[in-house]
Structure 1
Amino acid sequence: MKRLQVTLWRVTGLLFAGYAASSGAEERTFNMTKGVTDISGKVYDLHMLIFYICCAIALVVFGAMFYSMYHHRKSKGAVAAHFHESTKVEIIWTVIPIIILVLMAIPATKTLVAMEDTSQSDLTIRITGSQWKWHYSYFNEDVEFYSLLATSQKAIDGVEEKGAHYLLEVDNPLVLPINRKVRFLLTSDDVIHSWWVPDFAVKKDTIPGFINEAWTRIDEPGVYRGQCAELCGRAHGFMPVVVHAMEEQEYDQWLIAKKQEIAKAKEEAAASLTATLSKDELMTLGEKTYLDRCAVCHQANGAGIPGAFPAITGSKVATGEVSTHIDTVLNGRPGTAMQAFANQLTDKEIAAVVTYQRNGLGNSTGDLVQASDVNAMRASESPTSKEGE
């Protein structure tokens, strides 16, 4: 019996526990988190106020009900009154709920208005949801990057031990300064996603062709975790959000370092156009790129998912014309789940993953694709080249 009670408590805890992760430490409670922003504190206070009002109403209503049932029961000889209406009672139970609703609406409206006020922001960041990753772009800073799940496929498959932040870790977290108002512009490349960080009291849908707004002002440095809160497809559970909040001076230093990192990556990408990689080099980089970007749909072994995502093994694309294969990875396939990777991967990475798909995963065409081949196809598709034709 005791074991059953413990099990029921655990199940109840899993169903109703609130998620809160602050400074990398995860805790589970029976209430929502206060968070680390002023607005999240206001949301929490509003939640508790409404909760207490509801408790008071329940206490009065159920108290009156149980009192009436006990003191006016048949065994005590109570006789039911015979009346059909009372204007006074009708007015009372109409006016009192209206007053309660108005009193509840005043603080709720103030909080909701504050949540939607994105004016006078110090920093603007565009957040784009994409199957199944986040794309962050810092306005006026020339800094943008993709944030992908960092949990290994082996850990997901149960081959490796799961870490402390299983499915809630990324390769490139969103970095924000504390004590600055940050405005978010949220949209999507494909389907509806939802960017959610409980500690900020921010949860906004990202909708294709539409821009939503949200904001935050973080009070405490630390690492804060969330995830996509909209069922967006097969890898919905593999789309975490990680925000690293830094002191302002530390953030400014990070921004300078990030710009240098991006500039260096562009230089390396330009240099790769004149380099010729061996098959082993292409296959090594291609396998890594495939597991990071392609395996979520086509599976690590290239078998795909029947009825949803086609197999790479033996596919007409991976064993057909090289140019068609490169174009598929570059531009995707409209009307399907195959997204374009032209802006997500470098020419070198695309060349490597195409080579890997054509010479691995059960395929053996012998074709080697170089970064210059991919760049040439990009150039042939550019508006400038088409104008000159």
Structure 2
Amino acid sequence: MKQWIAGLAAMATPVLAMAQSADPQRWQLNMGRGVTHLSNNAYEAHMLALWICVAIGLAVFIGMGVAIVKFRKSKGAVADTGFTHNTRLEILWTVIPVILLVIMAIPATSKLVAMYDTRDSELTVKVTGYQWMWGYEYLGQDVQFVSRMDRRSDEIRQSGVRPDAATDPYYLLDVDNPLVLPIDTKIRFVITADDVIHSWWVPALGWKQDAVPGIVNEAWADISTPGIYRGQCAELCGKDHAFMPIVVQAVEKEEFQRWLTSRQSGEDAPAPVAAAAAVPASPAG
């Protein structure tokens, strides 16, 4: 009952969720904006399609309601059994959907093309999926490392003890080595896998890309806001699929350069503290 009440409350207030945080939240009903150019493109295309569908739904259900009330049998209405065809109506309900599809297709196509335009990137990061961890390499920078689920989450998981949300808010969502990236920088990702198919997915970045052995897929992002953005493997890849989270730590350019320099010098530098942290995503099941 409490979940139903919470769900109804969520539906009553942030139906369009115009100012959501970057990562999914409990009872979130709408797509989030994210923190990149591509995520905003996806959000805008989604909202355009949503409003068109809302308008169509209203027109259809209002028409149905009027017909049901005004032409009901109790008022003496009799069905017109001779009505078989109306050319004007046929043209109308064929032309209108075509126009609506074109209206939605033009911006969707341009935004889809932009998703694969990795030209003029300032930094390239190679992402490699393993069972069950992620490998990151900053190409041309002589920096690479492996990112696994943090030890605390792993200890709780294997102990069988139910985690406390107050003391372990990022249970199954944190890693030992986050992927540190600069903001306001076009970053190219080359994504592959070493063993089976994985899928690298951080909702705040606005895209999901499969990591396939023997194939290199591309994507890009330009993060606008410092923070911690969490994601997970989105392709069933084995028994520990739910235990290979992703953490992206976006920092200012100067801070990123200092961290990168320290890693290049061989220091085991910890990730810099992000200026803002996003709400954690729900763990994969």
Letter in 2 for 1:154: E
Cα 1:233–1:43 change in 2 (3 A) is same
Partner of 1:154: 155
* Alpha-carbon distance in structure 2 between the residues aligned to 1:215 and 1:252: 19
Q: What displacement does 1:61 show?
A: 1.0
Contact 1:37/1:218 (<8 A) preserved? yes
Partner of 1:8: 4
Report the number of matched residues: 255
Contact 1:151/1:169 (<8 A) preserved? no
Letter in 2 for 1:128: T
Partner of 1:215: 220
SS in 2 for 1:261: coil
Contact 2:135/2:146 (<8 A) preserved? yes
Letter in 1 for 2:181: L
Partner of 2:50: 51
Letter in 1 for 2:84: H
Structure 1 unaligned segments of length 5 or more: list them. 265-389
Task: Looking at secondary structure, tell me which structure has more helix per residue.
Answer: 1
Is the counterpart of residue 234 in structure 1 residue 239 in structure 2? Answer: yes
Partner of 1:115: 115
Is the counterpart of residue 180 in structure 1 residue 185 in structure 2? Answer: yes
TM-score (normalizing by structure 2): 0.83
Structure 2 unaligned segments of length 5 or more: list them. 270-285
* Alpha-carbon distance in structure 1 between the residues aligned to 2:267 and 2:133: 19
Letter in 2 for 1:141: Q
* Identity %, equivalent residues: 49
Letter in 1 for 2:155: K
Is the counterpart of residue 169 in structure 1 residue 165 in structure 2? Answer: no
**Which has the bigger relative contact order, CA under 8 A and spacing at least 6?**
2
Q: What displacement does 1:159 show?
A: 3.8
> 1:258-337 alignment to 2 at 5 Å?
258-261=263-266
* Alpha-carbon distance in structure 1 between the residues aligned to 2:241 and 2:206: 21
Letter in 1 for 2:141: E
SS in 1 for 2:171: coil
Contact 2:137/2:144 (<8 A) preserved? yes
Cα 1:263–1:170 change in 2 (3 A) is closer
Partner of 2:60: 61
> 1:17-96 alignment to 2 at 5 Å?
27-28=25-26, 29-81=28-80, 82-96=82-96
* Alpha-carbon distance in structure 2 between the residues aligned to 1:26 and 1:92: 40
Q: What RMSD, in angstroms, separates the aligned Cα atoms of the two structures?
A: 2.4
Is the counterpart of residue 203 in structure 1 residue 208 in structure 2? Answer: yes
Partner of 1:244: 249
Q: What displacement does 1:30 show?
A: 2.3
Contact 2:38/2:207 (<8 A) preserved? no
Please identify runs of 4+ aligned residues in structure 1 that moved more than 3 A: 9-14, 25-28, 158-162
* Alpha-carbon distance in structure 1 between the residues aligned to 2:79 and 2:199: 55
Contact 2:133/2:244 (<8 A) preserved? yes
**Higher-Rg member (1/2):** 1
Partner of 1:143: 143
SS in 2 for 1:226: strand
SS in 2 for 1:204: strand
TM-score (normalizing by structure 1): 0.61
